[in-house]
Structure 1
């Protein structure tokens, strides 16, 4: 079933055009300053006042409703059970293909949610830090499958999320460098009991095979209270990936420390051919096999057009 088809009789989603979604902003105030847009925007992604007003402010309003409802349910359950444990963080997962703009969406939501009254603590973690180190991927023959589910230290990621939900403090997440294409040794991001945690990564909605013995098999999304999938047509994603590669060729790849330094002297034709090959071999394969099948598991789906503008919003029915 295509969740984007509004005429599906049993569609589990409500589909909103951009105009319909924008009307749901109501009186949600704009709390971002004009100068913040460039800091929050990823390379080649679009982010301007109109995009925030029409897409992210209504989403911020919706999330405030979900968080408030979850908190009220938690306190009611705590009273029923007669317990006094601390309120655990509300966790939002953001999934989607490489080059689709997950990082921009995650940073914008973090900035908007942190400005709610009474100023909740909002942290952001990417799952890149939970990739196996490059040496391990090379030893296991997984470098061509970096970003696939098997390239992540799943046990470490699940342990991190379990500690977050248990209210432990502080909890440390490994740090990843896109420059060296590897985990940074002895460097950590500390997450100290946030009110809201955003977890961003290509495969955060991945499931696990059903066990024959009936025992629980935990997955990352078990810890999510709300999940977002950012979507675009495959041909558009490929073009964005290639354009991003060309920009990196002219900028970051020139740093001798860059893992991709060898690509810095490629001609346009060579760079396009190289980027397309990498896309087909790794990113498209991962999208087709692992990422796209998880799209219907999301609470909300943001679908972009070729100009990076979000065109439709699909919200799972309650």
Structure 2
């Protein structure tokens, strides 16, 4: 077995896959192949082996962090005389479009909910906090959808603040990828979970947002643990194009789809369109806003060209 690589000047400890796999210890695998298949994103190569090697050790690590937070809360209760309500442990997951962060979030939700001391695990995506298309159009931001300024940051910060205040029920807006917009009047109700996973492109961002102003509060201020799903840009671009072509054969054919007009494109036309969207929107967003937040994560999952995690980087403190 190889040992983790350490560099004196780095804040991280690097684990090759076999060294990371060993950290699973005796953690049982409680998912079967059918469940993994249902959680896998379009075009990803996720299987039981990937779950065993990568996500089981990660779920064990997260369980240790949650247990430590719960122990600290118990000690604080003794100090304060039973004054405070226990609040959810919040995990932030960041990464580019098409890198697989949504699948990572779903797998972790499934695994963490099977630990007996924190069975209630909720998953929320930041897509629900995008401004409605009407607002984006008014502000000239439709071609910058996914950039930091396209989100209702105040609503997102307020949502996390309410979660961390221990409110009995907090609501999150619902986004439809089919119609490419917020669903009016629909909300996801979050009722004091043990763990909340928040997944999104820019959840680790600390730069200026609306009007070039620096925010007083960052989303990451509410995180107890954060994960960045990483890969080389050329691989992510290829995955994005492959996904676009698959959607052209599936979801885009739905009459309700915002992208219905792309369903009739030839494969060559669809490829050119996907590459254009990447060059104009997703690529610049990755380079300018998403990738610079990588080093702020507590843990980085680095994928190879086959979409499988090859290396794990974990912050030392």
After superposition, where does 1:195-234 map in structure 2 within 5 Å? 195-209=194-208, 217-234=216-233
Q: Secondary structure at the match of 2:123?
A: strand
Q: CA deviation at 1:76?
A: 2.0
Deviations 1:254-304 (A, max 9, x none): 112111111111111111110000011110110000000000000000000
- The question of whether the paired residues in 2 share the 8 Å contact of 1:160 and 1:172 is answered with yes
Q: 2:21, 2:57 within 8 Å by CA — same for their partners in 1?
A: yes
Residues 208 and 219 of structure 1 are in contact (CA less than 8 Å); yes or no, is this contact kept in structure 2? Answer: no
Name stretches of at least 5 consecutive residues in structure 1 with no aligned partner. Answer: none
Q: What is the number of residues matched between the two proteins?
A: 310
Residue 112, structure 1, aligned to residue 114, structure 2: no
2:38 aligns with 39
Deviation at 1:6, TM superposition (A): 5.0
TM-aligned CA deviation for residue 245 of structure 1: 0.3
Query: Residue 190 of structure 1 corresponds to which residue in structure 2?
Result: 189
SS at match of 2:33: coil
> Secondary structure in 1 aligned to 2:216?
coil
User: Does the 8 A contact of 2:146 with 2:285 survive in 1?
Assistant: yes
Partner of 1:69: 68
Q: What is the rounded CA distance, in whole Å, between the counterparts of 1:216 and 1:129 in structure 2?
A: 20
Shift of 1:216: 7.8
Deviations 1:204-225 (A, max 9, x none): 0011459xxxx98101111100
The answer to which of 81-90 and 137-146 deviates more is 81-90
1:30 equivalent to 2:29? Answer yes
Distance in structure 1 (CA, Å) of the matches to 2:115 and 2:294:
28
What is the alpha-carbon root mean square deviation over aligned residues? Answer: 1.6
Deviations 1:26-60 (A, max 9, x none): 00001112210111001011211100100000001
Structure 2 equivalent of residue 174 of structure 1: 173
Summarize deviations over 1:143-196 as a string: whole Å, max 9, x none.
111001100000000111111111112111000000000000100100000000
Please report the TM-score for the alignment, with normalisation by the length of structure 2: 0.95
Matched, 1:134 2:128: no
Distance in 2 (alpha carbons) for counterparts of 1:216 and 1:143: 23
- Could you report, residue by residue, the CA deviation over 1:68-118 in whole angstroms, capped at 9, with x for unpaired residues? 111112222333344521110000000000000011110000000000014
Contact 2:208 / 2:215 at 8 angstroms: preserved in 1?
Answer: no
CA distance in 2, matches of 1:196, 1:64: 10
Q: Is the 8 A contact 2:118 2:194 kept in 1?
A: no
Residues 1:146 and 2:145 are matched in the alignment: yes
Which shifted more, 106-115 or 118-127? 118-127
Q: Kindly state the Cα deviation for residue 253 of structure 1 after the two structures are TM-superposed.
A: 0.8
SS in structure 2 at match of 1:168: coil
Distance 1:7 1:109, change over 3 A: closer
- 1:88 corresponds to: 87
**Aligned residues of 2:6 and 2:14 also touching (Cα < 8 A):** no
What's the secondary structure of 1:35's corresponding residue? helix
